[in-house]
C-alpha cells in the first residue's frame, strides 16, 4: 500500500498539482481508512506519513491525520469509493473563481468527466464544512472542485482518482488558454 501512496503522491507533486505540504490521499480498508499525515509532503511519502484511523470513530492516531479527514470519512460513508485524492491543481483552482462548473473543451475530458461541479465557499468556510455536499456530488461525478481550495476525486483506486485529477487540470489549462485567446470552444456537456 505504501508504494501506491508514494507513486501517486510523487506524481501529484512533480506535476505541480500540490504544493510541498499540500493535498492528501486516502484509501478505505473495511471500517478503517489510511490517510496521509497532517502536513506530510506528498512528493516524499514514507511509512510514518500514513495514519490509520476509523471511518466512524477516532483512535489515538486520529489527531495526526490530514485536516481533510472529515471530508474523506464522509465520502467513504456515502459513496462506494475506496480511494480519494485531494489536490490543489492551479488552473482548476483559478477557474473555480470565474466558472459555475467546468465543462472540458477537449474530447478526453468530456468523455471522462462530462462536467465538473464547483462548490462555492463563503468567507472563512473550510472544505470540511462542505463534506456532505462534496460526498453527495462525488456520488454523481468523478471529481468535484471547491472554489479557491482544490479538487476531491474519488474512485476504486488511488491511481484512478489521480487520473481524474490530471484530466481535469489538463482540461482547465486548455480552457484557460482558450479564454485568454478569446476563443469560444462551443462545447456543450456530453
Whether residue 160 is predicted with pLDDT greater than 90 in this model: the reply is: yes
- In the chain, the percentage of residues whose pLDDT exceeds 90 is 86
The side-by-side arrangement of strands in the sheet containing 32-36 is 50-54, 32-36, 24-29, 83-87, 150-155, 143-146, 116-119, 101-102
What is the pLDDT at residue 127?
Answer: 60
What is the pLDDT at residue 21?
Answer: 87
- Give tens-digit pLDDT for 69-85: 999 999 999 999 999 99
Whether residue 96 is predicted with pLDDT greater than 80 in this model: the reply is: yes
Of 47, 28, 51, 18, give the one whose Cα is nearest residue 162. 18
The dotted CATH code for 2-180 is 3.40.225.10
- Give tens-digit pLDDT for 48-71: 999 999 999 999 999 999 999 999
Contact of 23 with 56, CB cutoff 8 Å: no
Whether residue 12 is predicted with pLDDT greater than 60 in this model: the reply is: yes
Least confident window among 9-13, 87-91, 152-156, 186-190: 186-190
Confidence of residue 190 (pLDDT cuts 50, 70, 90): very low
The domain spans of the chain are 2-180
Amino acid at each position: 500500500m505504501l508504494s501506491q501512496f508514494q507513486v501517486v503522491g510523487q506524481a501529484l507533486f512533480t506535476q505541480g498539482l500540490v504544493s510541498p505540504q499540500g493535498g492528501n490521499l486516502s484509501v478505505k480498508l473495511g471500517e478503517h481508512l489510511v490517510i496521509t499525515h497532517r502536513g506530510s509532503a506528498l512528493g516524499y511519502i514514507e511509512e510514518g506519513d500514513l495514519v490509520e484511523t476509523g471511518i466512524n470513530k477516532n483512535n489515538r492516531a486520529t489527531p495526526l491525520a490530514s485536516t481533510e479527514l472529515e471530508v474523506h470519512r464522509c465520502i467513504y460513508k456515502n459513496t462506494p469509493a475506496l480511494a480519494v485524492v485531494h489536490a490543489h491543481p492551479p488552473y482548476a483552482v483559478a477557474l473555480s473563481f470565474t466558472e459555475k462548473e467546468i465543462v472540458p473543451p477537449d474530447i478526453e475530458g468530456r468523455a471522462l468527466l462530462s462536467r465538473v461541479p464547483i462548490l462555492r465557499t463563503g468567507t472563512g468556510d473550510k472544505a470540511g464544512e462542505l463534506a456532505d455536499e462534496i460526498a453527495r456530488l462525488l456520488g454523481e461525478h468523478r471529481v468535484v472542485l471547491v472554489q479557491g481550495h482544490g479538487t476531491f476525486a474519488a474512485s476504486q483506486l488511488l491511481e484512478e482518482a489521480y487520473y481524474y485529477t490530471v484530466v481535469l487540470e489538463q482540461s482547465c489549462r486548455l480552457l484557460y488558454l482558450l479564454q485568454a485567446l478569446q476563443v469560444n470552444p462551443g462545447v456543450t456537456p456530453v
